[in-house]
Structure 1
Amino acid sequence: MVNTQEDPIIIKLKSHFYDLIDTESGLFHYDHIVNKMLTAIHSLLEVPGILLYKRNEQEQVLQFKAPIGNIDVEMFPKKIDIRSIPDFSRSGAPMNRTSLIEIEGNALMLLLEKKNQLLGCLIFEGKDQDFHISEDVLQVISNECGHFLAKIQELSTVLSEEKRYQQLFRVTEKFHSSMNMDSVLGEIIQTLQEVYPTFTYYLLLSHDNNNNTDLPIKDLEYDSENISAMQAYVTGTIQFEDSQSYGRSVLYAPLMGKQGVYGVLQVIAPNTVNFPKNEVEFISLLANTAGSALENAQLYQQSKRLISDLQLINETSHRLNSDLRLTETMKYMSEQISSSFGAEEVGFILLLNDGEDINVLQGSTSFFQVRESERYIQLMKDKIAKEREPLFLGDFHFPDSTEEKGFKSIMAVPMDQSGELKGFALVMHQQPYHFSFESFKLLQSLIHHSTLAFTNSMLREELERMVVTDHLTKLFSRSYLDKKIYSSMNEDQEGTFMLIDIDNFKKVNDTYGHQAGDEVIVQVANLIRKNIRGSDIGARWGGEELAVYLPNVGLEAGIAIANRLVQKVGKTTNPQVTISCGVSYWSKASIADVQEEDTYSALFKRADKALYIAKETGKNKMVVQKN
């Protein structure tokens, strides 16, 4: 009987084991400690080499862990079935067997146990007679090694858990210090990579995530065949998916906040058919913390967006309620919508004559001035007039066309005032699904708040037109013409003025009546409007006399226009009438030549004299009076 308390091998072994346990330095690693333990045993027992097998609880086998010294590892299996070890019961507990067990391949096995529980075994190369160690010493070695393995496993677990929860605390602080969704998602992945470097992860998100990062993000598709992911999302509980054929286990943890579930964290554990139970709690806590952080970040982003939207509406309403002209109003709105929504084309369509006619308001983008826009305008007008609802189209195609090009993303919002459809705003982009639903709601609010300003602006300009417009002819009034000619002679380089008189107008009144006479005046006025530019001014001078002023138009061009008017009136009026026309001209160049300033009064007198000559020399003609 050997006194084990005094046996130098046991004393040295315990001393080595004690020295190996160092948790203060932060260098405690389970595999490293095991290798050091085996090195100490190898040195003290003076054997050629040692193999360690450690018990795998899930598979009920002893699994190859680490070799030390000169031993042929190819001679030994990677796993040893516990049931194949002699003198073991069905439960896998050893039955007082502490001596060396001979196994095939000229090797001996020493079982390692703690409290009658098999923890693993040591395999030495050699035969029983090569060892001069008593049963009592073997018993102590077995117990001490088993106890040491259990102890470092416990310490490793504790330290690992401590490290994980330190990381969880660190990442929680980062979560709640950031209101950026991409940052939160990045922290989730980074933490998992640090804690589980051999696992694979994906973030299955339920909302649009326009991130430009390299994070492993997938869309959580509601029609997906991934039932476990959808179960986690719908129920808010962790789901598992074990696959023997693929040799892996998958965990789905919901990213859940107080108001709902924002996605699912997918964690794939390789080389196992059951997800490690001790990892589930940590991943669950991480997912819950991340879900709350995502919710906070999303709520923060929503609040910022709402503030920005309200600022846009407030600023736009303020600008529109100022004394802007209609064209300026439309241009301002077009610029605001283009910049806020990233729109390529913005149009404002006014409906006239109970919706039968349309008018594209100035300030709309250039696309709405070309013929190609007409089919978009007409189709949207028909839909809005019929349904009286705003349109939100993500991938638009014309019903009778397979054309791939064109505008795919379209928002059309009616401009409704006191129940009357005044028109609609049309916002378009060629990229499908370019506009978000939040943008669509904001556009509706923007147009709703702006319609009254549009209407007021149109009414104000209509009132202004009525003030400066002749009621019968719809040409400008004489006072407006006077004002424009004075302004032109100060600002422009030249201009042509003409006075027009309907020949024998009294005879028309006497023959056909005063109503027919008025209709003749209107016919001549319409011909004037059709034959001059938008910047030219046609006016009613008085009675049957009309006038035209052409700013920045030379005399030759003015003469051509006057002759054309004389010809068209003689050919197209009913009852047929003719006109006489007196033309005068001014230019700053001619003023410089004579060193005498021209005046509006002089310009009028020359045109009046020319008209008198035309009337006295046969009528139905144009006469120019140069000076």
Structure 2
Amino acid sequence: MEYQDPQLLASLKSHFFDFLVQEDEQQSIDQLLILMNEKLNLEEVTLFIYNEWKQYYFPKASSNMSINNNLGSYFLSDKIVNEMMEEQENVDDKRTIYTFISKIYRNNKAIGLFEFKYRQLSINKSLLIEVANEGFKLIEKLLEFSKIFEEGKRYEQLFNVTAKFHSTMDMDEVLGEIIDTLRNVYPSFTYYLLLSHDNHNNNGLPIKEFQYDNDDNPAAMQAYVTGEVQFEDLVKEKRSILYAPLKGKQGVYGVLQVIAPNTVIFPHSEVRFIELLANTAGSALENAQLYQQSKRLVADLQLINETSHRLNSNLRLTDTMNFMSDQILQSFGSQEVGFIILENDRFKLLPGSTPFFESEQSELYLKYVDEKIKDEKDTLFIGDISTEPLLNGLRFRSLMAVPMAQSGLIKGVAIVMHEKPYYFSFETFKLLQSLIHHSTLAFSNSMLREELENLVITDHLTKLYSRSYLDSMITKSMATDAFGTFVLIDLDNFKCINDIYGHQIGDEILIQVARILKDNIRDNDIGARWGGEELAIYLPKVDLAAGTAIAKRIVEKVGNHTSPKVTISCGLSHWNQSYQDNAFKLFKRADKALYMAKENGKNQVVVQEESIV
């Protein structure tokens, strides 16, 4: 068959415009190849696009539907193509299918080829070359239109995702939208969000912790520091990596890492889109972070205001410290809280401290904090205390310590700890500082108020309770308890002590006897100064036999442990709910028993008479 080349070529080209106006690029290319196949009376025609990096021709479309349905498994190397082009066709056999390769060049570089398959030897190869060139021009236009169309779709996606960014103030939602957009636009790429450890995300997003001190990824660090897109081309691994900073107006909030496989140069056409996406996301992250910060600041101010209001409501010291401890445990998620007063180089634990600070294990922490604060006279914010050689291996690793200072003097310290390293954020640390600074005055006022109360109910010389406090506590005990014992004590021959040694020594003797009393009674028992050289003890819920034993033990201790040596006489009375009684009668019976002890030779204990009237 002879071809009228100009007419055939013109006929083909007349159909080309029809393909340009179709929306589906792949369908247009498929129809073009089918048309070429029919008009040129071919067995098959296949279009290949050249991949410069891999140096392979990959099939784009074919008039053979079996190939069209399995394009990914059929490709040609440069070497095979050159060998096919050099083959001599010298077999005249109607059953033989011949192949003709027509390469397409731009700027002396191969960009694609047509593979024509036919049976007749007399085919016009010049026409095939002309058709291939004209066809590829059309295909380039189709690909260009398709690229423009896809670009439009991408930027439409960017517009939509921007709208979503600005409709939410949740950082996790913003990060999720970034990943979803990349998955839709670049399904073959791999991507990660490099963020600081302050981002606690649990949504399964590809987030990596940004390592500021890691030299293994200088491109990521450069992108973070400069705010400019950086590239890393890995020839051996045959991939290129783009690092786009997530930046807003006030700073950079992370880095978007995008990995393009099978290329050593990141596709230039994709850089601008990814950069715009990263910038848009950075602005959204900034807005979300500022919103979260504002919410946190409002919550912090509310916490400080509530705490200050509560602390200034004249709470007892125990109530004050327990309230502060609860606030810190709940607001900061801490595991241990300690309030320590430093007195004469000794640690005094305040109420509200968690039980850990009563254990021996706390001593290492307390000594470390004490030394640090004395040296630096400042707050401590330690992300991982195990870096200190002497504290390596300890249970708690995150530590915050804020001095409780008033008028420039450090009176104590508040310590907050957690097992996990770097658990507390810097914002948490600043909030703790503010809380403690606002609360220190309330702590001091509570302590001073209780000290004043103790002065009112405490005898200045002996540090025993006052007579009035003893009276009130006995009256209270008689109203609530089942029984109790009262001991009235008098120092024997105390006037002689004053005459011989002087009143100063006499006062010292009183102090010694008072100390013996306190050492031999329980915390809830009441030792008091009755008046002059007379002292008293009230033992709530203690029966007569036990009270007598305690009194005798005190008489013995005083005789053996005072200097100059003195003795005491004790009169002991008892009450229980089985009969009508009151404090006045209790005192009268003890006073009568004391008189009998004096009359009977002193340095002894006399118990009230059995009959109570």
> Which of 612, 621, 625 is the matching residue for 2:595?
612
Gap regions ≥5 residues in structure 1: 88-103, 592-596
- Contact kept? 1:62, 1:80, Cα under 8 Å: no
| Range moving further from structure 2, 324-333 or 116-125 | 116-125
Q: Are 2:465 and 1:482 equivalent residues in the alignment?
A: no
Partner residue of 1:532 out of 507, 511, 521: 521
Matched, 1:572 2:571: no
- Counterpart-to-counterpart distance in 2, 1:504 and 1:283: 100
> 2:169 aligns to what SS in structure 1?
coil
| Counterparts of 1:519 and 1:365, CA distance in 2 | 39
Q: 1:402 Cα shift?
A: 7.0
Aligned length: 595
Counterpart position of 1:333: 324
Q: CA deviation at 1:156?
A: 1.0
Counterpart of 1:549?
538
Aligned partner of 1:107 among 99, 104, 116: 99
Conserved in 2, the CA contact under 8 Å of 1:2 and 1:134? no
1:289 aligns with 2:280: yes
SS at match of 2:166: helix
CA distance in structure 1 between the aligned counterparts of 2:287 and 2:518, rounded to whole angstroms: 63
Deviation, 1:50, is 2.1
- Could you say which residue in structure 1 is the equivalent of 2:118? 126
Counting aligned pairs with the same residue, the percent is: 55
Aligned to 2:414: 425
Cα displacement (A) at 1:206: 4.4
Q: Which residue of 2 aligns with 1:388?
A: 377
Provide the rounded CA distance (Å) in 1 between the counterparts of 2:347 and 2:184.
64
* Residue 491 to residue 40, structure 1, CA distance change in 2 (3 Å): farther
1:75–1:435: structure 2 CA closer, same or farther, 3 Å change rule? Answer: closer
> What SS does the corresponding residue of 1:249 show, helix, strand or coil?
strand
CA shift at 1:284, angstroms?
0.8
Distance in 2, matches of 1:452 and 1:233, equals 44
Q: Does 1:48 align with 2:43?
A: yes
Instruction: Indicate which of 184, 209, 215 corresponds to 1:219.
Output: 209
Correspondent of 1:163 among 153, 160, 168: 153
Aligned mates of 1:227, 1:378 — CA distance in 2: 41
Matched, 1:191 2:171: no
5+ long unaligned stretches in structure 2: 87-95
Q: 1:491 to 1:17 in 2, by over 3 A?
A: farther
Q: 1:293 to 1:399 in 2, by over 3 A?
A: closer
Q: Does residue 145 of structure 1 match 2:135?
A: yes
What letter corresponds to residue 52 of structure 1 in structure 2?
A: L
What's the offset of the Cα at 1:230? 2.0
Change (3 A) 1:4 1:480: same
Partners of 1:539 and 1:546 within 8 A in 2:
yes
Deviations along 1:368-420, one digit per CA (max 9) or x if unpaired, are 22333233323322332333222222222496757624322222221111112
Q: Which residue of 1 aligns with 2:336?
A: 345
RMSD: 3.3
Provide, for residues 394-448 of structure 1, a one-character-per-residue CA deviation record: whole Å limited to 9, x for no partner: 2224967576243222222211111122111122223222222222222222111
Q: Distance in 2 between matches of 1:157 and 1:568?
A: 103
TM-score (norm 2): 0.88
Instruction: Report the 3-state secondary structure (helix = DSSP H, G, I; strand = E; otherwise coil) of the residue aligned with 1:129.
Output: coil
Aligned to 1:101: none
Native 8 Å contact 2:342 2:348 kept in 1: yes
- Counterpart mapping for 1:88-487 below 5 A: 106-110=98-102, 120-127=112-119, 129=121, 131=123, 141-142=131-132, 145-206=135-196, 208-222=198-212, 223-352=214-343, 355-397=344-386, 401=390, 404-487=393-476
1:323 Cα offset (Å): 0.8
- Once structures 1 and 2 are overlaid, which stretch shifts more, 297-306 or 186-195? 297-306
Go from structure 1 to structure 2 and tell me whether the alpha carbon gap of 1:619 and 1:375 turns closer, same or farther (over 3 Å shift).
Answer: farther
d(CA) in 1 for partners of 2:122 and 2:482? 123
Which residue of 2 is the match for residue 503 of structure 1? 492
Q: 1:602 aligns with which of 585, 588, 595?
A: 585
CA contact (8 A) 1:49 1:71 kept: no
**Residues 564-618 of structure 1, C-alpha deviations (whole Å, 9 max, x = no match):** 1111111101111111112222223x23xxxxx3212222222222222222222
Question: For 2:121, what is the secondary structure of its paired residue?
Answer: helix
Matches of 1:374 and 1:110 in 2, distance apart? 86
Change (3 A) 1:396 1:134: closer
**Structure-2 change in CA distance of 1:492 and 1:18 (3 Å):** farther
Partner of residue 502, structure 2: 513
The offset of 1:144, in angstroms, is 5.6
What SS does structure 1 have at the residue aligned with 2:399? strand
Cα distance in 1 for partners of 2:562, 2:75 equals 116
Which residue is 1:559 aligned to?
548
Q: What amino acid is aligned across from residue 612 of structure 1 in structure 2?
A: Y
Deviation at 1:556?
2.9
In the superposition, relative to structure 1, how do residues 117 and 340 fare at CA in structure 2: closer, same or farther (>3 Å)?
closer
1:448-470 deviations in Å (ceiling 9; x for gaps):
11111111111111111111111
Q: AA paired with 2:278?
A: A
Worse-superposed segment, 138-147 or 603-612: 138-147
1:2-36 Cα offsets, whole Å, 9 max, x none, are 888986x976886697378543xxxx3x4454334
Q: State how far apart, in whole Å, the 1-side matches of 2:227 and 2:210 are.
A: 14
* Alignment check: 8 A CA contact 2:84 2:101 kept: no
Separation in structure 2 between the aligned mates of residue 544 and residue 257 of structure 1, nearest angstrom: 80
Alignment match, 2:89:
none
